[in-house]
Structure 1
């Protein structure tokens, strides 16, 4: 590189100048121009960049620069610089599906249309950018499109009429739990047909209640029912207060927590549809014990607990609602003391009395020999109609004796011999030493493929249809000693999930891809003839705007589909390139091999055609001579490899940075003249290697990344921020010659 400092040599003028000096005035003459001025004059001596391009009339070579579409449309100094020095512009990433999105979900192609019109008016070439990429996509929107339709579980509801007395003969008597009588009579109001008259004026029902023999419909059991409803008419005030309403099931008495008045009764008036809950301790209601929930036939009694009750009953109905959740429970209450349970790895588990309170619990291990990664085993038959896939988790109560096994390596669940680690010990769940951890341990069941740990385990798909299992559970510790109780498997009725089929997803995303490609190509019209059909196919990074088209359209088919959509839309013959970024630290020849392999796979159908390779090249000049030699070798190998494909090759976003021997980039404001010269020489080398390796008919052009540089940036550019020429200008000139 040549920089000239022009000296002014004129001894005669020098002498005159000296003679003109006086004592009062000290005169100094600069006899050499400042280097900066000389450099500027030297760079100013060069012609416009595109005048140095050596090409014949048939050459496709175009020299362009990156510029945003909005800057070009402004027609300011950058616009003039483009027109004078370049064949056109590369708008690169000005338009992506994300940046072009409108509020209504459609795309705004107006900006593309404006820059297309401006380029056509200026008579310059316009490169349109990328049509299909996994990056810069509306990933959240696309993923929402394929969400399954979820129909929430709706519990089956219904009612079972226990007695409405309409089919009974007048005078029919029902049994009572004590004295007095219950006889079928007409409604005293003459409105609702037959009713049951409990007690009389002379023989009040004293803590005695009418009884009904109940046989539930096939498939129903008492635990399915959520409430009992009755119509009740208190005679005068007989039994409206008393000790409260009562319900009896097979003789077991339940206080509903309120009297007849609290139930809503008033003297001599029907209280229709009074509700008594079967699964709530809140009045009026009670909790139905677990041991009664399986009943399908039983004796029911209901009425007012009073020493002098008289009332009418009608329409005794039980309402059922199949639950959406439930548990399969192991509570040891029916086991005899001393009963042993097997263990997975030795030691013992024995039924004993609860050390704190009543009831039976399972004592696991002993003080002398705590359990070492050994857990009690249970044979469990799951809820009728449910499979393991319906279950959402496992809970248990644990009393850690002296804290043994509180930490460990995580609570373990063993199903049919396969062990799962929840990754969280009893202490991690909130249990304490020598104290019951009630409702503390809950191990969540995930589906296969979901991330386990932190108190969660993933159940394999191969187990989801099981209806009976061998279950073991305990602390993964070398010295676990504890009592356990209330081992519960929790189930939830699944919502109905309707997944879209692979074919539906493919059709849906083909249409979405067409909305983008068809719209942007149409906006480019006849002006834009070159596009990157596939952008960054080797980029494996994932962020919020990443969407893998190949996952739904096919690893090969997505590219073929994109090519077809673009060519079918275009009004002119298009040149479609595969584009990928090559950074200086990359193994460039290896990446080139990967790109070539991709193109071959896409073109294997003998229909799809990729016209060339667009290399997004980010070069770095290294002050380490060994590194720089390798950099240059990689550039040469890259272009040689691409030349062998016989396809067109284009270099875009060509940038140059300088790094020191430690591998750190140097800001442009801190570059020395020698460093700038070296960067410019490397730029010339890259451009010459491209022109040398690629045959002239396949040289589709070079586009530089930036025209102007910034003082805080690292890119070395041909112009300053004020559009004064830099040394890089001469490097590009040398590369174009």
Structure 2
């Protein structure tokens, strides 16, 4: 985009001087002026002045801004304070920004944002209490440690000799004669009856066709303990035999290793029994009193599905309670749940695998079930202010390619969550990360779907918020255009017209009582290295905070023009 910019001497000087918090706002960098074909944009006032407050007494004009930019008094701080009523701190109020790997929670940035926004006369929109993305997966997964698997051997009767019962592990390759080996394992034993007076133990007598090497045993107790034995192979050992003929009861083996001394290569496969395969372990067919299974027990920090749910519910309680305390009753609206609906099956909730990786995301519904949103809402009501408004927020509700399927799916899901007669969801947020197409057919489909979305949302009777509005641009072949490639007046005016269309469609279709507000998500065009819509012309200001024609379309839409 090509603009001729004029920055006044006074504004430029501000960039070079220091200032205190008390007069920071008056000395902050101003928007550059414009000359040339778009100089008409200089005649536009600040955005929030175009909202008819008499006709829309509860409407909030919002924007997205990072905590670093706002608290650091960057130019976005000035633009936010001058043009908007409310802002959404991009990431600062998300779980991963607050919760450490050990579960500690640091709300200091949240508190600073709440206080600084109040000083400027702005409100904050809370984003978000529960989401699958930007969670501290390390911490949450630590609460859901998988069961520990092990080899479980049962003998229902005891014999007179140690060799009356045995289990054998078959090695893939024989041991080398005269080499020294170390065998180590964790084990435990529960002996109902031990026929000899010897210590409770497993005798270790490895063998091959040439003979057996008789070694000492492993003494085990009722609790897991680690035992080891070092030996020199006198035979080309092929089988590891554990003899326990005296035993009536059970013993268990886990984390078994056999290595040549001085090396670390384990000669035993599936040594921790985590793979569902114990075929290398056998016992003679005539020992009918024996059985071998791959068993499991819950690890120390996990007690099964119900215990996992209890742990996660406690985390949500601490997290939501902490967030509401940090906000001190000053944040009156929150996304209770963000982006719950599947992209692939828009009538269902997102789940790991189908809708994203479980390694980088945490899908709460996979652990807490379909009703997880009820828990989130209940906790927000418990800890939040009495006038708190709770929204469910999602993207793609305006999608023409899905015929608004996700919008319909979300509406039905909210009905389900509220069907308990207790859960109350106040509003729906539609993100609207849209693309304006220079293909007339595609663009007409886009516009029709936008209007249909608003009609569907209005019919719910709930507060409706455009929560994250930004706009890319595609050419006549529907190929996404980059920021630097958008140069023509036609391209600029296409975005201007679509912003105007969307905002007017909101006011035309959403009744006054349901108009919570509109939030501009990205103030400026996205640079090439950005993590969000990189190198797309999505702002109503360019990267230097110079107004674009899209600014006029946005302002005119607010004014009803």
Query: How far apart, in 2, do the equivalents of 1:581 and 1:468 lie?
Result: 61
Question: 1:7 maps to what in 2?
Answer: none
Paired residue for 2:420, among 605, 624, 630? 605
Does residue 563 (structure 1) correspond to residue 377 (structure 2)? The answer is yes
The answer (yes or no) to whether the contact 1:588–1:638 under 8 Å persists in 2 is no
Distance verdict in 2 for CA 1:127–1:445, change over 3 Å: closer
Distance verdict in 2 for CA 1:730–1:57, change over 3 Å: closer
Query: How far apart, in 1, do the equivalents of 2:555 and 2:91 lie?
Result: 27
The answer (yes or no) to whether the contact 1:82–1:89 under 8 Å persists in 2 is yes
Query: How far apart, in 2, do the equivalents of 1:505 and 1:680 lie?
Result: 50
Question: 1:706 maps to what in 2?
Answer: 522
Paired residue for 2:368, among 546, 553, 556? 553
Report the Cα offset of residue 585 of structure 1: 5.8
Report the Cα offset of residue 552 of structure 1: 3.0
Query: How far apart, in 2, do the equivalents of 1:443 and 1:512 lie?
Result: 34
Report the Cα offset of residue 80 of structure 1: 1.4
Paired residue for 2:322, among 499, 510, 519? 519
* TM-score, with length taken from structure 1: 0.51
SS of the residue 1:703 aligns to: strand
Report the Cα offset of residue 723 of structure 1: 1.9
Query: How far apart, in 1, do the equivalents of 2:270 and 2:153 lie?
Result: 26
Deviations 1:226-261 (A, max 9, x none): 9xxxxxxxxxxxxxxxxxxxxxxxxxxxxxx9xxxx
Query: How far apart, in 1, do the equivalents of 2:333 and 2:100 lie?
Result: 26
The answer (yes or no) to whether the contact 1:65–1:703 under 8 Å persists in 2 is yes
SS of the residue 1:93 aligns to: coil
Matches within 5 A, 1:30-429: 37-56=35-54, 59-102=57-100, 104-147=102-145, 150=148, 218-223=158-163, 279=205, 287-288=211-212
Deviations 1:340-363 (A, max 9, x none): xxxxxxxxxxxxxxxxxxxxxxxx
SS of the residue 2:340 aligns to: coil
Report the Cα offset of residue 676 of structure 1: 0.8
Deviations 1:663-688 (A, max 9, x none): 21111222211111011101100111
Paired residue for 2:438, among 623, 630, 646? 623
Distance verdict in 2 for CA 1:596–1:288, change over 3 Å: same
SS of the residue 2:431 aligns to: strand
The answer (yes or no) to whether the contact 1:92–1:130 under 8 Å persists in 2 is no
* Greater mean deviation of Cα atoms: 498-507 or 524-533: 498-507
The answer (yes or no) to whether the contact 2:150–2:253 under 8 Å persists in 1 is no
Query: How far apart, in 2, do the equivalents of 1:318 and 1:91 lie?
Result: 66
Does residue 693 (structure 1) correspond to residue 515 (structure 2)? The answer is no
Report the Cα offset of residue 506 of structure 1: 2.0
Does residue 614 (structure 1) correspond to residue 429 (structure 2)? The answer is yes
Deviations 1:301-321 (A, max 9, x none): xxxxxxxxxxxxxxxx99686
SS of the residue 2:436 aligns to: strand
Query: How far apart, in 1, do the equivalents of 2:204 and 2:381 lie?
Result: 70
Q: Pick the structure with greater CA Rg.
A: 1
Report the Cα offset of residue 710 of structure 1: 4.6
Alignment gaps of 5+ in structure 1: 1-35, 157-216, 227-256, 258-276, 294-316, 325-383, 392-439, 451-455, 459-466, 470-489
Query: How far apart, in 2, do the equivalents of 1:105 and 1:528 lie?
Result: 24
Alignment gaps of 5+ in structure 2: 1-33, 167-177, 179-202, 225-246, 255-266, 343-349, 529-534
Does residue 727 (structure 1) correspond to residue 549 (structure 2)? The answer is yes
Report the Cα offset of residue 584 of structure 1: 4.6
Report the Cα offset of residue 545 of structure 1: 3.1
Distance verdict in 2 for CA 1:593–1:493, change over 3 Å: closer
Query: How far apart, in 2, do the equivalents of 1:320 and 1:119 lie?
Result: 67
Question: 1:502 maps to what in 2?
Answer: 305
Question: 1:351 maps to what in 2?
Answer: none
Report the Cα offset of residue 85 of structure 1: 1.2
Q: RMSD of the alignment, in Å?
A: 4.2
The answer (yes or no) to whether the contact 1:224–1:320 under 8 Å persists in 2 is no
Matches within 5 A, 1:432-451: none
Deviations 1:609-648 (A, max 9, x none): 0001011111111111111111111101111110110101
The answer (yes or no) to whether the contact 1:669–1:711 under 8 Å persists in 2 is no
| Residues matched between the structures, number | 424
Query: How far apart, in 2, do the equivalents of 1:523 and 1:443 lie?
Result: 48
Query: How far apart, in 2, do the equivalents of 1:586 and 1:106 lie?
Result: 43
Paired residue for 1:642, among 457, 461, 469? 457
Question: 1:651 maps to what in 2?
Answer: 466
Question: 1:676 maps to what in 2?
Answer: 492
Report the Cα offset of residue 496 of structure 1: 4.8
Question: 2:15 maps to what in 1?
Answer: none
Query: How far apart, in 2, do the equivalents of 1:573 and 1:110 lie?
Result: 24
Distance verdict in 2 for CA 1:640–1:457, change over 3 Å: farther
More strand by share: 1
Question: 1:431 maps to what in 2?
Answer: none
Distance verdict in 2 for CA 1:657–1:154, change over 3 Å: closer
Does residue 575 (structure 1) correspond to residue 397 (structure 2)? The answer is no
Query: How far apart, in 1, do the equivalents of 2:400 and 2:248 lie?
Result: 60
The answer (yes or no) to whether the contact 1:652–1:704 under 8 Å persists in 2 is yes
